Structure 1
């Protein structure tokens, strides 16, 4: 997958959706936010990632300090400001060099890590915007499947602790049913030493969830209910309930 091209495309789709929507609409999947606040969050986040990469930063940077971190007052200008942030990330990565290590949530990573991260941040928040605007959300199966993989990687990178999403001895199998996927579409999640492990394999879990990649991604990130008709749950449904209760971040 061309993450850079997809980052630009997803931001274009987000901007197209937002521009036609009410900026004061409540974003129910991000409690307390309006669509205007969501657009601000995205535009500032893009510039934050661009600053980290462009400056080859080895430490976290306060998002409130990044240049051009406040959108224009008019809605069309704010949406355009958000969308242009995608190219700033690509410029930052090019300036740093894609293999140059920079700060990330999960320790030092090549600066290109931020392209994939911001791509999937855009995908999920575009879903939030669609829900707020009351319009259908569609995303290519490959993008949705990689979105889920990327997010599960963040979960797996969390430090060991008592709030691990799966109890010891349980496992969760996810299976995307889309035809023709060119990226992994199966995941088995287990617990080891207080941390989540993620592997791509076809195997039996304590619970299994099947559905289209988009529905799986949206459900695991709590944008769709677990009992959504597009999903099929086999085995101990409590395993999925526990997972969802412990991954609210």
Structure 2
């Protein structure tokens, strides 16, 4: 959250976010803080069912458009979330929309939520963006699990189309991963859906580049033709994935 606050510091909060065109920077900040407040409430109450966001105290942020008040709310939100997640421990029970009903799920989800929305803010402001390699790699892991969950449980979502044993496979390859971080992935399609695993393998198409840029391209935050990543092989298969991989 502190990195998001730093990115927003001094920015025109009324500016539109290109990667989330329905939002301004102020709305992006309120969404991000609200998500942390909501997940924190689920954990602190050990919720057994969903809590509507409108029932979460201060989830909408401060009244008015004062940037200082918004920043103070984000700082308070960060402190609240950090304390709750640390005090609860990863195994504490908390409702979630997945099969994993633990505080650890929410701590991980919010880490990646903030990392991706910080990229949205950085792109809107026009500043450089980097994310820690282990966070970027785990964000790709989680994104693949989310898309697979949506595919299996939301049959009318476009992710349900990510199947077909004859389609080939997709390889993601971070070219700058530090030693010891296995930052390569293989996605394989079957008749019932897709599977994925970490590791190097030949595939019908490969998306290659710095880890941060692979993450942003895979999350559709940067275009694959923007020069930061390289596509080798069946571009239509990669586009097929990118057009259908959704978060519900």
Structure 1-normalised TM-score?
0.88
Say which is worse superposed, 94-103 or 199-208, in terms of deviation. Answer: 94-103
Q: Deviations over 1:81-122 (max 9, x none)?
A: 123323322333345442123222312332122111101111
Query: Residues 8-52 of structure 1, C-alpha deviation per residue, up to 9 Å, x if partnerless?
Result: xxx111101112211101011112100000011011110000001
Distance 1:28 1:189, change over 3 A: same
Q: Out of 82, 95, 103, which is 1:90 matched to? A: 82
Contact 1:187 1:202 (C-alpha < 8 Å) held by counterparts? yes
Counterpart position of 2:60: 70
Partner of 2:174: 176
Q: Contact (CA 8 Å) 2:7, 2:122: kept in 1 or not? A: yes
Q: Show the counterpart of 2:43.
A: 53
Aligned pair in 2 of structure 1 residues 146, 110: CA closer, same or farther (>3 Å)? same
- Relative distance call for 1:158 and 1:224 in structure 2 (3 A) is same
Give distance in 2, aligned partners of 1:195 and 1:106: 18
Does the 8 A contact of 2:164 with 2:189 survive in 1? Answer: yes
Counterpart-to-counterpart distance in 1, 2:213 and 2:123: 14
In the alignment, structure 1 residue 27 sits paired with structure 2 residue 24: no
Show the counterpart of 1:215: 213
| Counterpart Cα distance in 2 of 1:183 and 1:166 | 29
How far did 1:166 drift?
4.8
- Structure 2 regions of 5+ residues with no counterpart? none
> Helix, strand or coil for the counterpart of 1:52?
helix
Distance 1:61 1:76, change over 3 A: same
Give the conservation status (yes or no) of the 8 Å contact 2:163–2:192: no
- Alignment deviations for residues 180-229 of structure 1 (CA, whole Å, 9 cap, x no partner): 15443011112345333220121111111111110111001111101122
CA distance 1:194–1:61, shift in 2 (3 Å): farther
**Structure 1 CA distance for aligned equivalents of residues 126 and 74 of structure 2:** 21
Question: What are the residue-to-residue correspondences of 1:89-238 with 2, within 5 Å?
Answer: 89-160=81-152, 161=155, 163-169=160-166, 170-238=168-236
SS at match of 2:21: coil
Unaligned runs of 5+ in 1: 1-10
How many residues of Structure 1 are paired with residues of Structure 2 in the alignment?
239
- Which residue in the other structure is 2:71 paired with? 79
Aligned-partner Cα distance in 2 for 1:48–1:118: 10
